[in-house]
Structure 1
């Protein structure tokens, strides 16, 4: 069962405290909240752990079935967890087949990376060791944002901890580390491989940063990493960063924009104080404001979430109150209502709509392999609608010409 205890500088929050070194001590005094999504993730991890033990260790079918049935009694259990955990096991089998001989496979491994991060410890979902390679695989049940294993600090800290744990057994035999993140619900599978020397050099490099974060002497640095911070709605540094957007003229000083990026001369004029006035934002300014505005939207949503929770808990938020939102009528007993309509003389055929299952529902019903074999030839995946993304996004840039022919090859 995945543990509930977390280190102050946990591996899972490393992407945050490596950038915002004030975050750990700031969050320490704020209540830790759980959610149905978190509990759902814990249950999915437990199912993954059980299936890993069944596949890679000695476990009787009776023991496996008993434990699995117990997990299925959890109200949060869904058939989708069976599917995603099976995909996870399939990937572990693929990982194991990369070794020349059967590797050592362990699930839910407690590791200690305190040599690099004060009091640092965590739990690896899966560790494989064979030949000269250590493999770490992390299962993520969430379906919000894809997480890449490339350069991922959580995975690197886990790897450092696993190297320490198994050094007495494997010594210097391990020369490289392979780190993978599986997100079956997003069909996202990424892997990063580095040498042990590179990994340990990275560990030495973050030591002073980790010590700074642990000591409470760090700085607040708002950014995308605020997403999972417990204090994201109450952080003054984040508020200061976002409220600066209220004055757009100070957001992108004209002097900071290259002359060749300025708007055409016909759209500017000399103001009453002799200064040049440009009523239109340049493309460079728009690009900068898009980045700032994206964080502003996220920050406002966090404020809304915090205020709603506070008001529900009976705490006043000056100038705000909770009201009932739009409600949708529902039957208290749909079957009884339909029978009453039939008794009133309405034909049963008029009371039901017959419609096929969606593509995703059929794939869940049949399983990925059979779905692909039996009806995969009838599936096409057109290019998605163009969506703005940062230039650092790993996806390829949208190509209008490619969009015109997307899905054609699949149907030929």
Structure 2
């Protein structure tokens, strides 16, 4: 079995809508970004903590493994921050609490970690891995850690965790009498816990409903369908359908904003961020291909960019300026300044910093910004915000 399924659960939101995308993506290298690597590190820390809880590893082994992961020698060492312990701890505490609650209802309750899940009866060659599974009292619960902070991920109608639930039921349904499947996502840095509860019948009905799309996706058939799901598609930079969708804004003929109708302004607002993101991806792809693969794009050439001067040996430079030429510290050093809250949280930890600076951390009202109506934040009220400012 390959490491990653062609129809992976994490990209199900894409291949269920744009069925040819999975085969197209397979033509491009899977270069995980910094966020993905950080998430992998967080998952490893969480797995170790839960292994210690269920006593598959001892305290000493746990300490050794965690120390090795956090060290500079580890390929994950650069991603460790003090607040990661707190965020990962929230997920670990949630799993433990759910299992402890389950044991009170059912003495035969089971906690399973990092289980291989097979849902190939509904999705060709479909498989994945479940972070944590609690089975008790007729209920199977999948608990999935999401460490990302920029995009909120909720469990409702989420095809990824539904596939995990499907795979878990397929694996354990013959062993346990399962009537209900609870699908839980824990995203400690953006929204916390969210769950969707389905009967086994409803989950299986959903599985049957996606079979035709999954088969098309496996065969690479169907129409290219651009939309928000294109954000992390590796084929996005070469997708003609996405290019046509993004460049469709040219239909407004670059009129001044006050010459557009209300509907046209709303359409531009809905497309702008996606257009900028897509354009930047195309630029990055073109540069990488030119530098690493000597690709010559028609009408473009590689040149040396603007270089910024820098001091190669700051300590030595300071010594020369002060000792040899008599410049004062005020002349050669910046004034001392406090690090940003984010930098301090990484060093001290988010909760610890909040406790230590109680009463000194403030959050002024944010500037108004336009977002889709589906955004969970309350609508901005100018009178209320003016009052807060006062």
Residue matched to 1:288 = 267
**Whole-angstrom CA distance in 2 between matches of 1:218 and 1:347:** 71
Show the 5 A alignment for 1:47-86.
47-72=45-70, 73-78=73-78, 80-81=80-81, 83-86=83-86
Unaligned runs of 5+ in 1: 252-278
Residue matched to 1:180 = 185
Query: Secondary structure of the equivalent of 2:131?
Result: strand
Residue matched to 1:346 = 327
1:397 deviates by 2.1
CA contact (8 A) 2:150 2:190 kept: no
Residue matched to 1:373 = 355
1:223 deviates by 0.8
Q: Is 1:222 the counterpart of 2:231 in the alignment?
A: no
Q: Which of residues 370, 390, 400 in structure 1 aligns to 2:382? A: 400
Residue matched to 2:126 = 120
Query: Secondary structure of the equivalent of 1:47?
Result: helix
Show the 5 A alignment for 1:82-121.
83-98=83-98, 99-101=101-103, 104-121=110-127
1:111 deviates by 0.6
CA contact (8 A) 2:28 2:235 kept: yes
TM-score of the aligned structures, taking structure 2 as reference length: 0.86
Q: Is 1:242 the counterpart of 2:214 in the alignment?
A: no
CA contact (8 A) 2:118 2:167 kept: yes
**Whole-angstrom CA distance in 2 between matches of 1:199 and 1:150:** 12
CA contact (8 A) 1:135 1:179 kept: yes
Q: Is 1:151 the counterpart of 2:157 in the alignment?
A: yes
1:86 deviates by 3.8
Q: Is 1:191 the counterpart of 2:170 in the alignment?
A: no
CA contact (8 A) 1:112 1:120 kept: yes
CA contact (8 A) 1:9 1:24 kept: yes
Provide closer, same or farther for how the CA distance between residues 373 and 194 of structure 1 changes in structure 2, counting only shifts above 3 A: same
Q: Is 1:306 the counterpart of 2:311 in the alignment?
A: no
Query: Secondary structure of the equivalent of 1:42?
Result: helix
Cα deviation digits, residues 69-94 of structure 1 (max 9, x gap): 32222244147445324422333323
Provide closer, same or farther for how the CA distance between residues 56 and 326 of structure 1 changes in structure 2, counting only shifts above 3 A: farther
Cα deviation digits, residues 324-355 of structure 1 (max 9, x gap): 33333222111222222220323346535222
Cα deviation digits, residues 19-56 of structure 1 (max 9, x gap): 11111122223333344444443333222222221233
Q: Between the two structures, name the one with larger relative contact order (CA 8 Å, sep ≥ 6).
A: 2
1:95 deviates by 4.1
Residue matched to 2:340 = 358
Query: Secondary structure of the equivalent of 2:175?
Result: helix
1:11 deviates by 0.2
Provide closer, same or farther for how the CA distance between residues 63 and 294 of structure 1 changes in structure 2, counting only shifts above 3 A: closer
Provide closer, same or farther for how the CA distance between residues 135 and 371 of structure 1 changes in structure 2, counting only shifts above 3 A: farther
CA contact (8 A) 1:109 1:126 kept: yes
1:18 deviates by 1.1
Provide closer, same or farther for how the CA distance between residues 81 and 370 of structure 1 changes in structure 2, counting only shifts above 3 A: closer
Unaligned runs of 5+ in 2: none
Residue matched to 1:268 = none
Query: Secondary structure of the equivalent of 2:359?
Result: helix
CA contact (8 A) 1:52 1:89 kept: no
Query: Secondary structure of the equivalent of 1:233?
Result: helix
